[in-house]
Amino acid sequence: MKTPKFLLSLCLGLLILLAPLSQSQDHPLDSLSTFAVQLEGRKKPLDTVARETVAQIHGSPSYRTETGQRLNSQQTYLSLWWNDRNWNQEPFILLSYRPLKEKLGLNPDQKHFSFAALAQSDLGNLLQTAEQKQSQDQTLTRDEREALNLYDRIDLMMQTVGSQSLPLVPHPSDLKGKWLGLTDSEAYYPNSSRLIAQFEQLQQTYLQDPQNLAAVGQQAETLRQQLVDLSPQIYPSDRILQREVFFNHFHPFAKAWWLYAIAFILMLMALNFPQWNLYWSAMGVFSAGLLTQCYGFLLRVQIADRPPVTNMYESVIWVGFGIAALALLFEWRSKAHYYLLAAAPLSVLCLVLADSLPAVLDPSISPLVPVLRDNFWLSIHVPTITLGYASFALAMGLGHVTLGYYLFLPQSQQIQKLSRWNYQVLQVGILLLTAGIILGGIWAHFSWGRFWGWDPKETWALIALLCYLAPLHGRLVGWIGAFGLTIASVVSFNAVLMAWYGVNFVLGTGLHSYGFSTGGSALIVAGFVGLDLLFVLSAIVRHQGGLRFTAAVQNYDNHDGGRSPEPGSAGAIAPGR
């Protein structure tokens, strides 16, 4: 019964890959989506360019106009590219950092601003100061870093609106040669006037009736075929371009977190209603989520031709994957229920953050910086150290479950089992993080000429390791018990959070600058950390209160045991005897 139920749930879970059915249907603008564009060191379909451009400027892959019309990424990009509305006045540019909005005299409760509103603010003076400090290698303030990030969005919008230089024309013979815009195509192809005429016809067809997608699609297909015929040996194949477009529309990581969430609900029901026999159903759906995420990684590796662990976005989805994979391995061995209960919400959180914050966690596939171009070290160091983070995240999840028992069911027999399982996960995390730090040191020796340099990323990784080594050794020699180790598994994760998030988004200094970013609200993260520490504190108070109560009862029992027997009791001497 176990195997059929597991396989049935696995297959039903994988059916979610078919949703929505429209992802496998032809669209009139498919030919336009697969225009090849050479940008940021690689050739990618226009569909990807549209998604990345709109997400980087607006913070979302879609845009709702002031009239309420909702435009997807392709519609928004075409509107920008062919400038069919007054983009100077459209509140399109993302600015979410409140202190900067207040400094520029903008509405702090507004999230998007028009180009005109930003141009009239004091942004120019702030940018001038930031650029001067940059040229002198001085440390920038958070306001200045956010201002530079805002300028990048403005600059990208200015390059996109009405652009005539989008590199669509392939080099005649060099696979790595520079592509040109249509207006410059005569530099490579003297007889390219019909190419320009076809593009103008496509543009006019769209501007006359943007809803006539069939006519636009026909014009786009004609232009695309002309571009391919210019240099068939250089132009990317249909299979390569369509694979990336499929990945963009398939959303494997979003589908994976749906399955993890469903598995969490099923496992919760299996724990509370054992008569329903839902355990293997939960395992099947969870495994389907893991396979879906694996498929997403496979597609991304094929597109990028490298391991998917080179920026904060990829590390977040990799940690979510690591949490799920480790939990499934432990769960399969122990049938404990609790590994999946602890892992599923954390994996969902990682994937939801990666899916919903493109302006903070940039999903773009970009060329590697020189230090990362060694695929061997990249393939072993980064996955190993982030799997260590995943192990500690799983331990943190188990720690929260255990603290929940200490708070509400302090006499439960599950507490000792949970503590033992948590101890095993922490051991795995120690092994992976230690190996990752050592591998990173070897890579640093080859790349930078030294094994260790007290770089902030290196230092905080070591601090995180020590924060877990201390309680594990304390548990081994008897300094702390099960409750102390549970507290450590939750509190010590803050060191991992600092090594992973804090160095990239708060400190923003060091040789690991390829992972740095802005936009991650430190106040929101600090607020969640504070609430979590309050939860830990309440568990400590509850546990200490329980210990004092138990000690008082024992003292009372010991004191009562030494009192004289009551008259009439078995030990009393009868009167007159």
Three-state SS for 11-48 is: HHHHHHHHCCHHHHCCCCCHHHHCCEEEECCEEEEHHH
CA nearest neighbour of 169 among 238, 106, 224, 239: 224
Start-end of H helices in 312-455 = 312-334, 338-356, 375-408, 414-448
Q: How far apart are CA 361 and CA 369, in angstroms?
A: 18
Say which residues have a Cβ less than 8 Å from residue 106's Cβ, sequence separation at least 6. 95, 113, 117, 118, 121
> Do the bridges between strand 63-64 and strand 70-71 make them parallel or antiparallel, or are there none, so unpaired?
antiparallel
Residue 99, number of CB atoms within 10 A of its CB? 13
Q: Whole-angstrom Cα distance, residue 167 to residue 185?
A: 9
This prediction's pTM = 0.85
Tell me the pLDDT of the chain (577 aa) as tens digits: 578 888 888 888 888 777 665 555 567 788 899 999 999 889 999 999 999 999 999 999 899 988 888 999 999 999 999 998 899 999 999 998 889 999 999 999 999 999 999 999 999 999 999 999 988 888 888 889 889 999 999 999 999 998 888 999 999 999 989 999 998 999 999 888 889 999 999 999 988 888 888 898 899 999 999 999 999 999 999 999 999 999 999 999 999 999 999 999 999 999 999 888 899 999 999 999 999 999 999 999 999 888 888 888 999 999 999 999 999 999 999 999 999 999 999 999 999 999 888 878 888 888 777 666 666 778 888 899 999 999 999 999 999 999 999 999 988 889 999 999 999 999 999 999 999 999 988 888 887 788 888 888 889 999 999 999 999 999 888 888 999 999 999 999 999 999 888 888 777 666 665 555 555 567 788 889 999 999 999 999 988 876 665 666 566 566 655 454 444 444 343 444 3
Q: Which residues pair with 42 in a beta bridge?
A: 39
Question: Does the 368-554 domain belong in CATH 1.20.120?
Answer: yes
Tokens representing 173 are: 């013979």
User: Whose CA is closest to 170, among 238, 231, 226, 229?
Assistant: 231
Distance from C-alpha of 468 to C-alpha of 487, rounded to nearest angstrom: 11
Those residues whose C-beta lies under 8 Å from the C-beta of residue 340, and which sit 6 or more positions away, are 263, 264, 267, 282, 283, 286, 327, 328, 331
d(CA 449, CA 439): 14
CA dihedral sign, ordered 103, 109, 114, 117: negative
